[in-house]
Amino acid sequence: MAGTLQGGGKGMEKRGGARPIGDLLAGVLRAFGPRRRDEMYEMTEAWSRAAGPEVARRSRVVGMNRDTLTVAVESASLRQEIESFRRPEILAKFRIEYPGRKVADLRCVLRGT
């Protein structure tokens, strides 16, 4: 049968371009891993500039789901401050600092203790 692996164990011979699933998975992880890390770094840097040093020190970017930026904050009072008073200001600054992706909303979650 074309494209199958012959033998078993370590000495498998590849025929017809077939590759072990582990090789394929490693290639996928290499292709997407650094990009995700780079994106998180860029979002974190943009968040620090947009939120300001005090808020940035007490929070961290968790990720982005569709067009919503999620940030973990250290306290309920900081969450209240951002969501009730500073959301429009911080979002506007974040959009300037991170223009590569549409950001429509900001979601704050409490950090796990």
Domain ranges for the chain, please list them. Answer: 19-110
Instruction: Say which CATH superfamily domain 19-110 falls into.
Output: DnaA, N-terminal domain (3.30.300.180)
Average of per-residue pLDDT values in the chain: 82
pLDDT digits (tens, 9 = 90+) for 62-98: 999 999 999 999 999 999 999 999 999 999 999 999 9
pLDDT digits (tens, 9 = 90+) for 20-34: 776 666 665 555 555
Instruction: Classify residue 76 as left (phi > 0), alpha (psi -120 to 50) or beta.
Output: alpha
pLDDT band per the 50, 70, 90 thresholds, residue 15: low
Burial classification of residue 33, based on how many CB atoms lie within 10 Å of its CB (0-12 exposed, 13-18 middle, 19 or more buried): exposed
Dihedrals phi, psi of 63, to nearest 5 degrees: 160, -170
Bridge partners (DSSP) of residue 4 are none
Dihedrals phi, psi of 8, to nearest 5 degrees: -140, 165
- What per-residue confidence (pLDDT) applies to 51? 97
